[in-house]
Amino acid sequence: MAQFRLQGSKVLAVDLTGDAVKAKNGSMVAYDGQMAFKKMSGGGEGLRGMVTRRLTGEQMTVMEVQGHGTCFFADRASEINLVNLRGEKLYVESSNLLCTDAGLRTGTTFTGLRGASTGNGLFTTTVEGSGQAAIVSDGPAVVLRVSAQYPLSVDPGAYIAHTGNLQQSFQSGVTFRTLIGEGSGEAFQIRFEGEGLVYVQPSERNTVGGDI
Amino acid sequence: MPFREINSKMVEAQVVPGQRMFSQRGAMLAYRGDVSFTPSLTGGQGGVMGMIGRRVANEQTPLMTVEGSGTVMFGHGGHHIQVINLTGETLYVEADRLLAFDGTLQQGTMFMGSQGGVMGMVRGQVSGQGLFTTTLKGHGSVAVMAHGGVIELPITPNRPVHVDPQAYVAHHGDVRNKLSTALGWRDMVGRGSGEAFQLELSGQGAVYVQASEEKL
């Protein structure tokens, strides 16, 4: 299986011995050995996946990299986080997904209101199976554990991914004060309950919530 | 005079009397002691001919001479800085990526077409780096800027390294470079993998690659 390792915090090195990985289009910065790059239309999930992605707006341009040697990936100097999946499911925004083992299945899922508030749409990408994945974040991400006693609320703009059995609900603190422009600036949060891990970046995307 | 890395985005240099160094104009952040900064019209060494050469080659980044005695801190635009120590070999780097370097290093410009012929020239156009590149040769230190962190990849005779032209920062050693294309009909109809052009570096040396595909 492809070996993922970090070279510094912003470059992902993948050692390949004839196997393959899926990576964001154009994210290769260097390689040694023999590599072949092939675009996979519609995120590489076949026709059905392609249609779903079109419909849900959760577009992903992915290439398959196959070869012998080491391939280096990076994305606009973003920090890279490695995730080890052992049969569980990773939920991640497609724009934060850098590279996955070719053996992992990707798909799309409905996120509910959270997507609308993050400005990422109503759908998110799922990665499932056993193997490694690399996600990017703006600044080093922290991994926060959610358990039955300790639910977690996250700013929609700082959320990047989660794993585990989590229910998410949308919290709004919009009041009369918000409407007259006296809001706290933290009008929306996503609340996670259950058992799992949430990846949070030290930066906030531009979201509707940020303006209120 | 080696540069001391204060953090990933700032370096400190010792300036001693009788030895000068060059830096990109405006890259001084702070200094201690008695140091003077003068614009270097000739762009370092090479006199008037060198100046004309650089003008023609469009490899001119305004430089200044740093002299005196004290310590100077350099940094620019929040870019990541990589210090490269040269021990006699030649460093190839784009002029606009040069932050500061020892005055003892010999400066020159190299025509990309002389390496790899026509493809060498195409290389410059594709990577947006022009037809010429700056060379620095000798013993001393160079501070080079990059977007994001930098990794150093060794190049050995049996292991050429392929680099995305946009992520290429600099290289040193006895290295040949050529542009390799993987242009298929898929790329023509806009369905390429986004990795149509690669810079193939072979020989003996090292290449510096930044963690980003953005120019400075």
The predicted model scores a pTM of 0.84
| Radius of gyration, alpha carbons of chain A | 18
- DSSP secondary structure code for residue B43 in this structure: -
Q: Would you report the helix, strand and coil content of chain B in percent, each value rounded to 5?
A: 15, 55, 30
Q: C-alpha B114: how far from its chain's center? A: 18
**Pick from B41, B66, B199: nearest CA to B125:** B199
Question: Distances from the Cα of B81 to the Cαs of A95, A210, B3, B166, B180, in angstroms?
Answer: 27, 33, 11, 17, 28
Give the pLDDT confidence of A45-90 residue by residue, as tens digits: 666 676 666 666 666 788 899 999 999 999 999 999 999 999 999 9
The answer to whether the Cβ–Cβ distance between A26 and B160 falls below 8 Å is no
Among A25, A30, A77, the residue with its CB nearest the CB of B194 is A25
Q: Is pLDDT of A210 > 90?
A: no
- Taking the Cβ of residue B210 and every Cβ of chain A, the question of whether any pair is shorter than 8 Å is answered with yes
Most confident of A197-201, B40-44, B185-189: A197-201
CA–CA–CA angle A200, A202, A204 (5° rounding): 90
A150-168 average pLDDT score: 90
What's the full length of chain B, in residues?
A: 216
**Which chain A residues are within 8 Å of B152, Cβ to Cβ?**
none
Give the pLDDT confidence of A91-127 residue by residue, as tens digits: 998 889 999 999 998 888 776 655 555 555 567 888 9
Phi, psi dihedral angles at A139 (to 5 degrees): 90, 160
CA closest to B197 among chain A residues? A26
The residues facing A83 across adjacent strands are A133
Among B148, B161, B212, the residue with its CB nearest the CB of A30 is B161
- DSSP secondary structure code for residue B159 in this structure: B
In Å, how far is B25's CA from the nearest CA of chain A?
25
* Residue B187 and residue B196 in contact, taking contact as beta carbons nearer than 8 Å: yes
Give the pLDDT confidence of B76-102 residue by residue, as tens digits: 988 999 999 999 999 998 888 999 999
**Pick from A99, A29, A67: nearest CA to B152:** A29
Among A10, A28, A39, the residue with its CB nearest the CB of B148 is A10
**Which chain B residues are within 8 Å of A38, Cβ to Cβ?**
193
